Structure 1
Amino acid sequence: MLLAIYAAWLFHDLPDASELAEYRPPTATRVFAWDGTLIGEFSDERRVFVPYEEIPPVVVQAFLAAEDRNFFRHGGVDVGGLGRAMAKNVLNVLRGRRLEGGSTITQQVAKNVLLSNDATLGRKLREAILASRLEATLDKEHILELYLNEIFLGYRSYGVGVAAYNYFGKSLNQLTPDEAAFLAALPKGPNNYHPRRHPAAAQGRRDWVLGQMEQAGWLTREQAEAARARPLVTRDAPQRSAYRDADFFVEETRRQARNLFGERVNRDGLYIRTTLDPELQSAARDALMRGLETYDRRHGWRGAWGNISPSADWRAEAQRRSPPSERRAWRAAIVEHIDGNAARVRTAREDQTGLLEPADVAWARAGRGLSRGDLIFVEPAANGRFNLRQVPIVNGALVAIEPFSGRVVAMVGGYSYSLSNFNRATQARRQPGSAFKPFVYATALEGEFTPASIVVDGPISLPGARPGERWTPQNYNRDFYGPQPLRRGLEMSRNLMTVRLAQQIGMRQISADAVRFGVVDDMDPVLAMALGAGETTPFRLTAAYAQFANGGRRITPHLIELVQDRQGRVEWRADQRPCRVCRRPYDGSASPRLPQLGQQVIDPITAYQITSMLEGVVQRGTATAARSLGRPIAGKTGTTNDYRSAWFVGYSPDLVVGVFVGFDDNRSLGNGETGSTAAVPIFVDFMEDALRDRPVREFRRPSNAVMINVRGIEEAFRPGTERRAQAPVAEAGPAPSGPQPYDQVWRDGQVTGADNAGAAAAPRPPAREEPPEDLSGLY
């Protein structure tokens, strides 16, 4: 009766083995770039499900030899194996060793999926009953498929598919017999056979499995001996993907995927195809890191990060500090000797010695200096010397977006993800400064203004926020230039012209348009906002600039292009445009005509007018360094009060790139660190790689725009507004007539904008020279 009561209690809540017929273990969601490059994985248990038909026989045979050689012959419980395990347990008890269970693969599946790991007699009895039910419900291949995909094998690996990659960097079908045997050695205790911590035990267990495979007839003696002779070579640590330049992008993808699918992201084995271009992403990361390092070098050597006597155990101390993982060539080192401009260093891990470059020693001496025993980072140079390196404390972001589709092809959210995973591209809200001005001018051009309109650049003083206070904005060089055309105000980033323009338009309209353009979610209608006093992120500002490049359409910037479940069914697609005929078989007719992406928020002519003015910023204004690209480039610099943030958002006809540089605590970047100084060089560095293989293209002109030459520059007008174009101011003195010398008409190779050659050659008053400081874009 007691046995009957115990059995009833033991089996009353036994799980239903038929549940396993449709069971699939949690699998990792894998993230791919647009070209198929694996860039990341999301999972609680890192697992890739591999169907039984795709598991090579050598892997199956290795696990059967190690765990259950009679698997295809027993009915779920191997009585002989269980008896041998019980006999061994007598000795195990006497020696204080862990007891053996004698479980078959079927029993292990029952335990891993349906039961707990409690080492009790009751659990073993339940396991045996469930194993028999499993054998009656599922075929052997299905049970083995579940086992090989469910089992934990160490190195953050669940299942043989991920284990093959983590340990050997291979797919299953590339494994050799010795590698398969090592994986089969792990289920008994992955930590006991860790290839780095316990190499002898790991190799011994592997060789034992090879011997079992030989005894079973799955390997010949020669094959087994050759496999045992091979050294056990594994990766130092598990890796999620070979491509490692997109950490900020992958993390942002994970956040967006969780918003779409919740916890399914970590267990349902989704396939996520992103918009990332690996070549552009690597170029973006390198450009941003170089630009921040260049800025950091301009501001001096801050000193070593440690100091210790070379006679002490300095190597252990040096290796406690790791360089950024993105700078794989950097080495921790100690300064062994200093003599004038000669400094000898020794690396901690490789024990290499050499001299620092003299220029680096001079740089260090101009800063905090170098001393014997200083712990520093160095990088090997081509001439056998070493370069002195320093981790920047400044940070920044770079975003690259295709303007017509909204695909984010590259995104870097900081100097180093290994040092800080805060994504400054999407999470840092900062003032854009003068980089906001194009949206003020776009609002003006959408109204009564034209590119030929004149705005006064003169002093202005307005009531402040408190009684008795006055707000007196200034241009960067504290000078005034009088009546100026609209274009000149944007090209030279004139603050006073922008404030007067905002007064005439009305800040309520500018604030509403800033929200409509997607720059911000909300903006107070105060004049300071026209100079970029609001806050936005580099991601949003770059996406808003795309409207100038694509003809005025507000696109949705996105990182995720397509999501499929494990069966290949599409669960989400970024392109939501309807197309009823896209799935029909091709019948020779014309391809489907899809509507354009995005909502039209700016007149196409206005978008081109702003683009033309921003081309002037590159040709004549605050971003002339970008002329070195030799391409049609438009863009705008931005610098905020006290040089706290430096910006440049620029674009070619098919790529928009935003660059931000600033400290995380919003301190000043230093006197003169403007958008043209700190941000434009990073943009140029990136675009040199991004545009190298792309054809040279001009910005598209709207077909209905009226083109008129105004002051030597071809301007676009909306039909009917060209009548408001103002003629150039007449010059003093009579205009000579007849043919004129070339060097008089085309003075300094520049177009004068005069109506005729005679007027061009007429005497003119000396041009007012503008100081170069006005090229900063500071507000």
Structure 2
Amino acid sequence: MTHPILKITSLLIWLLACAAGGGLVVTGSLYLYLSPKLPSVESLREIKLQTPLRIYSQDSQLIGEFGEMRRNPVTFDEIPVSYIYALLSAEDDSFYTHSGVDIKGLLRAASQLMTSGEIKTGGSTITMQVARNFFLTHKQTFTRKFNEILLALRIEDELTKNEILTLYANKIYQGNRAYGIEAAAQVYYGKHINELNLAQLAMIAGLPKAPSAYNPLANPNRALIRRNWILKRMFTLDYIDEDTYTSAVNEPVTATYHGYTSQLDAPYVAEMARLEIIDMVGTAAYTDGYRVYTTVESKLQQSAQKAVQDGLIAYDSRHGYRGPEKRQLKEEQWMGALRETPTLGGLSPAIVMQVKEQSLLVQLPNEEQTEILWNQGLEGLRKFNSPNSRSAPIKSAQEIFTVGDLIRVQQHEDGWHLGQLPKAQAALAALDPENGAIKAMVGGFDFQQSHFNRVTQAERQPGSNFKPFIYTTALENGFTPASIINDAPVVFEDDLLESSWRPENDSGKFYGPTRLRQALYLSRNLISIRILRALGINQALSGLERFGFDPSQLPHDLSLALGSHAVTPLKIATGYASFANGGYRVEPFLVERVEDSEGNILFHAAPLTVCRGCGKEGNSVIPADEKIQSESPTDLDTNVGVDQIVAPAKLPPPEAPRIIDERTAFIIDSILKDVVRKGTGRKALVLKRDDIAGKTGTTNGPRDAWFSGYSTHIVTTTWVGFDENQLLGRNEYGGSAALPIWIDFMKTALAGKPQIIRPQPEGIVMGRIDPENGLSVGPEHRNAIFEIFRKEDVPPMAERHGPGNTQGAAGDPRPEDLF
């Protein structure tokens, strides 16, 4: 007779066998059902991590980052060993010994589910988390968990442990838009991952479990508990010794939010480049890790930004103080107002805490208090009345300021000075005249204040800045530098006008017969009008088209001579590049090359490039009425997919066409050099260079102030004005408002650059002329001056009328000072 205990034992064994068999059947069925639907693990080797678009300067300084996910992928060798130990301690201490699935962890998770009815821990290994993050959803279901296990086993079979760990480190979400450990290090500590200490690495290792709950910014106390638990685990697992543990666990929480930080302040450049790359590849640019390298040089860009801001602050200070931005805030409002008011152009907000007769005690946004002394912006301070009027200097700070006022201050070497946010705006565009590469661009006082890029979007009247284009056409059509034009009043009657048009010079005076050279370097308006009338509108329009101006958009009347047509600073700078390079047409471009996340070049610009003597086409002049057909250097076929973009073969850049006869270019360049030597641009003599040239420009009001100038190395246009087209104020001309910005920038742009004097081309002759009538004279004429001409344009000899012609001082008479 069989013993009852044996019967029970046999029954239990049979039941367990049935259960195991049933489990195997169920498991096998699930595997057969789910396995074919699982993605290929091999795709992990080629998967593209979502990485933001990054914009760089030509010298690889980061200037912009765009995309929802902040991610900076790292290789396994770049992951600190201490982080690996912290991660294993926090997430998976048997990672290097299991085959992708931790049975103990799964049983523990199942036990918690059976006893509590809730999923408290998933029992997931690092490999399973990789499977879930790359291929599956985060919805907690049995099917997903089973898929997770199957994928983990496959991943372990096809990838090494270090490859799996690298995928995890680059993919995992860390909170605050940071994906991956390098992005987390930069967001929470403003450093690279390999610059963090053990306590900081343990803090980051604790984030994946619950990026919100254990976030050191949102929940510093819970994050500290989590970090210290990880450090304790590291000590228990013998990853660190007791002294290291004790030191790290006593470290305070040092995490603070570090938003996107550029290495170079060039937001207008970054935005322009962003728009170009979106046109090229679409919105994939935000996720596929494209790197865009611009033509901008960091040193020049920094100088341009400072020159624009300093120039606007200087202009603003000349017109008086408009008063505090906010008045008499209550003390409980102070910190809120400081937090809500951004620092713009280096001008920080501050709250007046105390007003003395000759000083102010102010509070800064960081709660620091500082005193503004009388000689730190208060002495000589005048109140703004109008663009042309200021008050007498204040005698006491109490005349303007009261406690609770929100003002602006700027840090100088000797402390904080009183400042004011300018209302006027400015723009600067600097190009390489040899190929049109944009070397620096500033579209306004501060991008935070206004995203409107005045270099490319603001169309303003250039005034006399436009005259060199007219004069170039005149020199090609019978005029010479010695041509005499009468600077006299002129009245134009037009049925379309409400009254007669009576143009005049800026000075309000008339100077009689004047040589063309003088007329341009002294910026005589009436002579410009007479030259245009002699040329004819159609002839002038034809000549202007080659500089890139659309004749259909230009005024078909004599106001064209005074720059009445609104254009952008970039368009003007591009035109002046032809004067700087000796007569060739180039096109401005910003994007030099585009790389994918692996560093493969997808696009390289092929700009029109000056190539002197490269061939017949490079030396011949393009007819003024012939349109220049050239492919944009940044054109891509937007109909092809991103994956189809192929880097162009390395070919010589296309030759820039000549648009000005070499001799004419030489003559107009010599006249524009006289603008600096003895005309309206004389302030530029401070640069102490003989190779610079340019032209001022001022419109009626005045409302717009310009200076465009160049050397053979760089061409730069600066503009100052109000967005609302308000008056700039009395005595604010191109030479006083825009030229100082140009000078400050060119000090940096030309530093260390050799002076290159353009050689005199064949067919140019130098002759002696009578400055009174522009006619050629002999060596006996002591009042004669030298002038240059195309050999076919040398003026006839003057008739001799007696000894008067041989008297007087030799040399060119000095021009009268206008400013």
TM-score by length of 2: 0.81
Q: 1:315 is matched with which residue?
A: 334
For residues 388-407 of structure 1, the aligned pairs below 5 Å read 388-407=418-437
2:455 to 407, 425, 428: 425
Residue in 1 that maps onto 2:792: 720
C-alpha displacement of 1:611: 1.6
1:586 equivalent in structure 2: none
Q: Could you say which residue in structure 2 is the equivalent of 1:324?
A: 343
- CA distance in 1 between counterparts of 2:220 and 2:802 reads 89
CA distance in 2, matches of 1:316, 1:595: 57
2:57 is matched by which residue type in structure 1?
A: A
- Who is 2:270 aligned against? 250
Verify the 8 A CA contact 2:355 2:401 in the aligned structure 1. Answer: no
Contact persistence 1:618–1:624 (CA under 8 A): yes
Local SS of the residue matching 1:377: strand
**Residues 730, 305 of structure 1: alpha-carbon distance in 2 compared, 3 angstrom cutoff:** farther
Tell me, in whole angstroms, the C-alpha distance in 1 between the residues paired with 2:211 and 2:785: 73
1:352 to 369, 372, 397: 369
Q: Structure 1 residues 464, 607: closer, same or farther in 2, change over 3 A?
A: same
Aligned to 2:201: 180
State the alpha-carbon separation in 2 of the partners of residues 144 and 201 from structure 1.
26
Alignment correspondent of 1:532: 563
Structure with the greater alpha carbon radius of gyration:
2
Quick one: distance in 2 between partners of 1:602 and 1:210?
74
User: SS state of the match for residue 806, structure 2?
Assistant: coil
Residues in 1 aligned to 2:655 and 2:90: alpha-carbon distance in whole angstroms = 58
1:631 aligns to 2:631 (yes or no): no
Instruction: Compute the displacement of 1:382 (Å).
Output: 5.0
- Matched-pair contact (CA < 8 Å) for 1:453–1:725: no
- Indicate the residue corresponding to 1:619 in structure 2: 677
* CA separation of 1:383 and 1:413: change in aligned 2, threshold 3 A: closer
**Displacement after TM superposition at 1:515 (Å):** 3.1
Do the aligned residues in 1 keep the contact of 2:429 with 2:440 (CA within 8 Å)?
A: yes
Partner of 1:446: 476
Which one of 176, 201, 219 corresponds to residue 240 of structure 2? 219
1:63 aligns with 2:96: no
**2:401 corresponds to:** 370
Deviation at 1:599, TM superposition (A): 2.0
Q: Helix, strand or coil: the match of 1:262?
A: helix
Letter in 2 for 1:149: N
Which amino acid in the other structure matches residue 507 of structure 1?
A: I
Which residue, out of 711, 724, 735, partners 2:806?
A: 735
Does the residue aligned with 1:295 lie in a helix, a strand or coil?
helix
Q: Secondary structure at the match of 2:575?
A: helix
Partner of 2:739: 680
What does the per-residue CA deviation read over 1:473-505, in whole Å, with 9 as the maximum and x for residues that have no partner?
222233332332111121121222111211222
SS for the counterpart of 1:354 is strand
Aligned residue in 2 for 1:563:
594
Alpha-carbon separation, structure 2, partners of 1:428 and 1:686: 21
**Structure 1: 5+ residue runs without aligned partners?**
579-591, 737-743, 754-766
Residue 302 of structure 2 is matched in structure 1 by: 282
- Would you say the 8 A contact 2:334–2:404 is kept in 1? no
Counterpart mapping for 1:101-140 below 5 A: 101-140=122-161
**1:462: which partner in 2?**
492
**SS state at 1:503 partner:** helix
Question: Does the 8 A contact of 1:46 with 1:158 survive in 2?
Answer: yes
1:735–1:601: structure 2 CA closer, same or farther, 3 Å change rule? closer
Q: Partner residue of 1:41? A: 65
Out of 297-306 and 29-38, give the one that drifted further.
Answer: 29-38
**Higher mean C-alpha displacement, 250-259 vs 548-557:** 250-259
CA distance in 2, matches of 1:651, 1:507: 28
Per-residue Cα deviation, 1:159-199 (whole angstroms, up to 9, x for no partner): 12322333334334444333322221111222333333433
Tell me, in whole angstroms, the C-alpha distance in 1 between the residues paired with 2:157 and 2:294. 44
| Comparing 106-115 and 227-236, the one that deviates more | 227-236
Q: What secondary structure sits across from 1:643 in the alignment?
A: coil
| Structure 1 residue matching 2:418: 3-state secondary structure | strand
Aligned partners of 2:525, 2:714: CA distance in 1, in Å? 28
TM-score, scaled to structure 1: 0.85
How far has the Cα of 1:27 moved from its partner?
1.7
Q: How does 1:748-763 map to 2 (within 5 A)?
A: 751-752=811-812
Q: Distance in 1 between matches of 2:587 and 2:800?
A: 44
1:16 Cα deviation from its structure 2 partner:
4.3
Match of 2:520 in 1: 490
Change (3 A) 1:145 1:490: same
Distance 1:335 1:64 in 2: 53
Is 1:610 aligned with 2:640? no
Which range is displaced more, 702-711 or 210-219? 702-711
Q: Which residue of 1 aligns with 2:510?
A: 480
Q: 1:713 to 1:285 in 2, by over 3 A?
A: farther
Structure 1 residue 393, shift from structure 2 partner = 0.9
- Are the counterparts in 2 of residues 288 and 682 from structure 1 also a CA contact under 8 Å? yes
Name 1:698's counterpart in structure 2. Answer: 757
C-alpha spacing 1:24/1:84, structure 2 compared with 1 (3 Å): same
In the alignment, does 2:658 pair up with 1:600?
Answer: yes
Once the two structures are TM-superposed, the CA of residue 689 in structure 1 deviates from its matched residue by 2.9
Opposite residue 512 of structure 1, the aligned amino acid is S
- In the aligned structure 1, how far is the partner of 2:799 from the partner of 2:46? 80
Taking the aligned partners of 2:588 and 2:533, their CA distance within structure 1 comes to 32
Distance 1:593 1:701 in 2: 32
Instruction: Report the CA distance between 1:7 and its aligned residue.
Output: 9.3
In 2, Cα distance between equivalents of 1:276 and 1:493:
33
Q: Classify the secondary structure of the residue corresponding to 1:41.
A: strand
- Alpha-carbon distance, 1:402 to partner: 1.8
Which of 335, 342, 354 is the equivalent residue of 1:336?
354
| Pairing of 1:5-44 with structure 2 (within 5 A) | 14-44=38-68
CA RMSD of aligned residues (A): 3.3
Aligned-pair CA distance for 1:59:
3.0
Distance in 2, matches of 1:23 and 1:380, equals 49
Whether the aligned pair in 2 keeps the contact of 1:650 and 1:657 (CA below 8 Å) is yes
Specify every segment of 5 or more residues in structure 2 that has no aligned partner in the other structure, as ranges. 1-21, 386-399, 610-649, 772-783
Name the CA distance, whole Å, in 1 between partners of 2:455 and 2:363: 38
CA–CA distance in structure 1, aligned partners of residues 722 and 550 of structure 2: 22
The corresponding residue for 1:503 is: 533
In the alignment, what sits opposite 2:723? 664
Deviation at 1:380, TM superposition (A): 4.9
Q: Distance in 2 between matches of 1:501 and 1:537?
A: 25
Query: Shift in Å at residue 460 of structure 1?
Result: 2.8
| Structure 1 residues 525 and 168: alpha-carbon distance in aligned structure 2, compared to 1, 3 A threshold | same
* Partner Cα distance (2:50, 2:714) in 1: 39
| Equivalent-residue separation in structure 2 for 1:637 and 1:725 (angstroms) | 33
CA deviation profile, 1:243-282 (whole Å, cap 9, x unmatched): 2421211221212222223223212222322222222211
Give 2:621's aligned residue.
none
What are the superposed Cα offsets for residues 340-381 of structure 1, whole Å, 9 maximum, x if unpaired? x44444445334242432573355563482233322122355
Distance 1:32 1:612, change over 3 A: same
Distance in 1 (alpha carbons) for counterparts of 2:353 and 2:550: 50
Aligned AA for 1:718?
Answer: R
Name the structure 2 match of 1:299. 319
**Which segment drifts farther, 269-278 or 132-141?**
132-141
1-side partners of 2:178 and 2:564: how far apart?
Answer: 50
Contact 2:352-2:402 at 8 Å conserved across structures: no
Q: After superposition, give the CA deviation of every residue in 1:94-142 in whole Å (9 maximum; x if it has no partner).
A: 8xxx843222222222222222222334433333333334334444333
- Amino acid corresponding to residue 648 of structure 1 in structure 2: F
Listed one character per residue, the Cα deviations across residues 12-48 of structure 1 (whole Å, up to 9, x for unaligned) are 8654444334212122333332223222323332222
